[in-house]
Each structure stands twice: as C-alpha cells, then as structure tokens.
Amino acid sequence: MLHQYYLTFYLSFNIISNTFILKVGFDSTIMVAGLLENSCSKIHLGLLTILGFSFWFLVGFPFANYNESYVWIALLNKLGFWDTFTHRFEVVVSFRPLFQASGWLAYRLLGNSMNPVQIINYVWAMTSWLILFGAIKEKRVFSLLSLVVGGVFFSGYIYLFTLHGIGYSSLLFMTAILFYKESNYFSKASIIQLFLLTFICSQFHSFAFLLFLAFTAGMMLEKRNEIARWQILAVLIFALAMIMTGYIEMRIFYEKVPSLTNLDFLNVLSTYKTVEVNRLASLVSLSLVIITIMSMRLSALIKMLVTATATLLSIFFMNVGLPIIMLWIFTCLLKAIILKKWSIASLIGMAFLIPLFGYRGHPTYAIMVLMACAAIVPMGWPAFEAKLGFFNAKIASSLTAIVLVIALTLRMGVDLPIISKLANPLLAEKEKTFQLESVIKWVMQSQYSDYELRFNKSKYSLTSVEHKIDRTNRPPTLQQFLDYYMDWLRPAHQKDIENSRSLLVCFGSEKIEGAGILYVVKGKYAGDAIVYLQSE
C-alpha cells in the first residue's frame, strides 16, 4: 500500500512539472533566436564556439552501436513508451524517466536507427554552447577558447555517438542556463524557471541537481546582502522537494538504496587522464593555465610569480603522470574566487568532483567543468577582448571554412600530415563499432549462431587508464552489454542451450595461438576484427 502511495505521488509530481516542458523549450528557442537576431555581426564567433567539437563530430559521424547502446536497443525493443516512465533500465544507475522516454522516442520513431539520435545529441550540445556564448560579454576571447577546448579535449564528447548520450547534453544545457541566468538569478521569474528546469534536467540526469545546488549555494553567498528571506526559503523548499523525490524514486525502483560510501577519488584522476590523452593536450593545458593567470586581476609581479609556480607544477604533474588539465581547473577556480564569483566557483568545484559519483572514470564526466572553465577565463578581461578587435568576420569565416574542408577531406579517407594521426583514434573507434556489428550479423547467420560470443580480456583492463587511452585491442562495448544484446537477439529455443562452446572476437588484428580463424572484418584504422573458434 505504501508503495502505491509513493508511486502515485511521484507520478503526479512528474506529470505536473513536465507540463512546463513545452514552455521551457519555447523560452530556450526564443533565447537562441534573440541571440542571433540581436548579434548578427557576431554569428561568425558563435560558429567558432562550436567549431572544435563539431569538427570531430563531423569526422566521426556516424557510429554503429557503442558501449551501453547494445543494452538500450534490446530494452527499447522490449518496452513500450509508457513503460519508460515506470521501469528503471538496469544499465542506468538512477531512475531517469525523461532520459529513458526521450531515448525511446528518438530511436523508435526515427526508424530504429542510431544516426538521428546522434544528430539530436549534437544539436543539444551545440545549442548549450551557443546559449553560453550569448551569456558571455567577451565573445572573441570565449569563442577562440571554446574552439581550443572543444577541439583538443574532444574525448568527453564521445557520448554524442551513443544512444544513451542525451542525458549528458542535458548537463551541458543546465550549465549554460545557469550562466545565462547569473545576472538576474533571484528574480521571481528566474527562480521558478530554474526550479522547473532543474527538475526536468534531473529527469534526464541526476547530476543536474548537484550542479544547480552548488551554483545556488554559491550565489546565496555572493548575493547574501541582497536576497530576501522568501528567496532563501524558496530555494530550501525546492531542495527539500528534490531530495524527497529522489527518496521516493529509490523506494520505488531500488531493492536496496545506493550507497555513497564507494566514492573513489581515483575516478576523478582517471577521468581527467582520459581527457588529456597525449603530450600535445598537456601542452595545451599548460597554455590554458598561463592564459587564465594572465586574465586575472593581479599585479604584473604577482602574475609572473604565479605563472612560474604554475609552470613548475605542470612539469611536476607531467613527470608523475598527473593531467595538467586538473591544474587549469584549479586555476579557473582561483580566478572565480578572485572575482568573488562564488556561484561559478561552487559550480566549478562541484563539476570537477562529478566523477566521484560516476561509475569508473570516464571523460564525459568532465564536459561540464570544461564548459564552466571556458566561461570564467574571459570574464573581467575586456582589455584582451579589445586587442582581438582585428579578429573580424572575414578571418573567422576563413578559419571555419578551412576546418570544415579538413573534416570533409578526412571523411573521404584522404591522409593528411599530422591531422590524420590525431584523427586515427576516433576513426579506429568508429570502425570497431561497425566491425562488431558485422561480426554479430555473421554469427547469427552462420552455423555458430548458438555459440557464445566472447571478447579476449587478456589484452585490456576495464579499470586501467592506459587501456582507456590506448584502445588498440579494446572492444567497443563491455562483455555484459554484448551478452544482454545477444540474449535478446537469439530466438527463444537457443537461449536455453547449455554448453561451453564459444567464439572469441578480437580487435586490432590480435592473434590467438592455437585457435582457428572463422571470420575476418578488415580495418583501415583499427586493424582487423577476427573471430576465432577456440580449441577444445
């Protein structure tokens, strides 16, 4: 009986709040439209803002099934639309009804294809960055900085190619809206809009509430002499309502409440190591540290001392294997504190620690903090903005055209000096997704359709940072995800067969001694995918 009350209360709260989705979406559309209408001369800068990660998306699109997408496809084909609001997907840590429902709509209504879903992920990420662009005064500095951040640290945007990636775009959107509302945060309209938006985004990904809570706590400190008691009370009531909603979700959808005792700082370290994947990225991180120091309101002498200290720390980080991008994040946090932007400082701090709450370190957990850092660097730096006055529409358009031509050239398979080498990891990962798709299709049509399909785990580790970066032999999904998909794919009479027969699929042209080769999918970037029949 108690369970039914919980479910009724939760669904009622969800339905009432979701009636505002259309309004929020309409307001966001008007926001972007207003940005373009009022800043037509700045459109070229807006394009630069999204050009970095857009370049790699254009090069990589489309991926076949990747990572958790295998489980999602099986689930979305088993469940109806309304089931996504009442069932928690096994592979999703927390219950996120809008996340699940939007995945169902995007996949099932758009031809059961991964391609439209990837485009939706990209458009939402692009919209988020453009909203943030509209919120920043120093647009030239911000657009150039965003170009570098999105282009160099693209590994976090690998989620764009997945069926389950839409949840992360909601976090980028939440971060951008917080910056957009910063100047008028505690007005009645803003409070209501942010409350509703936070609840909606948290139904895509629960981290949205953590970002809102951190930003709001910092804003209350920042505006402590200006805010009224009713505003403080409203924030506390909303926070309590969100906590109660989360509690109800856990009572309904979990047999056991998830524990926070398993937080591991190694997840944080692993996340930022997989963002800064090579020495070139490390040098870019060091450059960002120095640029951020130059943007601070400090005397020339202090800037020199801080720059020297940061350079020495960067050398130390590099020698001991720590990612320098963490040092850039700390530098951005310091700048926010110097500017007394406690809201942004709190947001950066919380976004930096997001990997603590995630499952294993993953570069996607870093995209929110990188967005916040890209926004804080230009703030309070009008002098440099003025010096970039020469960077006009003609130069920006030419740069955009060059980047797009390079992307199209890579898509046609033409080798380019240096750039092709940088693009190879992404192209290899893409190629492996199609190789595995080809292997699965072959297995299901062959005489081995009732054999288990196994990955060779001897050449990679799920927890090793090195194997997350060097993915030569690493498959494009996990074994448990593949097992779930294959179990759904096989006819019922094959699921009950008890045997130990298995096929071994390897990537990167990996050789297995004493095993016979049954099937090979040639690869240009990732090496061959080979299916072996293991000997008795």
The tens-digit pLDDT sequence of the chain (536 residues) is 434 433 433 333 343 333 333 344 434 443 444 444 344 457 889 999 999 999 999 999 999 999 889 998 888 888 888 888 777 777 766 677 888 888 888 888 888 888 899 999 999 999 999 999 999 999 999 999 999 999 999 999 999 999 888 888 999 999 999 999 887 877 777 788 888 888 888 888 888 888 988 998 888 888 888 777 777 787 777 777 777 766 665 555 554 445 555 566 788 888 999 999 888 999 999 999 999 999 998 899 999 999 999 999 999 998 898 999 999 999 999 999 999 999 999 999 999 999 887 767 789 999 999 999 999 999 999 999 889 888 888 888 889 999 999 999 999 888 888 899 999 999 999 999 999 999 999 999 999 888 889 998 755 655 555 656 667 788 999 899 999 999 888 875 555 555 568 899 999 988 888 788 899 999 999 999 999 987 65
Name the amino acid, one letter, at 36. L
Locate the DSSP E strands across 348-465.
Answer: 452-455
**CA distances, 192 to each of 187, 189, 360 (Å):** 9, 5, 35
Question: CB under 8 Å to 243, separation ≥6 — which residues?
Answer: none
Beta bridge partners of 453: 503
* Token pair belonging to 131: 């909203």
- pLDDT at site 316: 93
DSSP-derived pairing of the beta strands 529-533 and 452-455: unpaired
| Domain spans, the chain | 2-390, 419-533
505 three-state secondary structure:
strand
Neighbours of 115 (CB within 10 A): 13
Beta bridge partners of 520: 530
78 three-state secondary structure:
helix
Beta bridge partners of 455: 505
120 three-state secondary structure:
helix
Query: Residue 400 and residue 48: Cα distance in Å, rounded?
Result: 7
pLDDT tens digits, residue range 378-396?
A: 999 999 988 988 888 888 8
Query: Residue 40 and residue 84: Cα distance in Å, rounded?
Result: 41
Name the amino acid, one letter, at 188. K
* Token pair belonging to 299: 């005397």
**CA distances, 273 to each of 226, 352, 426, 470 (Å):** 41, 13, 17, 12
Q: Of how many residues is the chain composed?
A: 536
Per-chain mean pLDDT for the chain: 83
Query: Residue 214 and residue 486: Cα distance in Å, rounded?
Result: 42
519 three-state secondary structure:
strand
Instruction: Please identify which residue in the block is written with the tokens 């759904």.
Output: 488
Query: Residue 194 and residue 202: Cα distance in Å, rounded?
Result: 12
Backbone dihedral angles phi then psi of residue 462, each to the nearest 5 degrees = -70, -30
Q: Which helix (H) or strand (E) holds 55?
A: helix 43-60
Question: CB under 8 Å to 359, separation ≥6 — which residues?
Answer: 93
pTM recorded for the entire structure = 0.85
* Token pair belonging to 353: 């620690």
Query: Residue 172 and residue 133: Cα distance in Å, rounded?
Result: 13
* Token pair belonging to 398: 């030419």
Burial group, residue 332, by CB count within 10 angstroms (0-12, 13-18, 19+): buried
DSSP-derived pairing of the beta strands 516-521 and 502-506: unpaired
Query: Residue 153 and residue 342: Cα distance in Å, rounded?
Result: 26
Query: Residue 214 and residue 203: Cα distance in Å, rounded?
Result: 18
CB 393, CB 48: distance < 8 Å: no
Backbone dihedral angles phi then psi of residue 525, each to the nearest 5 degrees = -105, -35
CB 153, CB 281: distance < 8 Å: yes
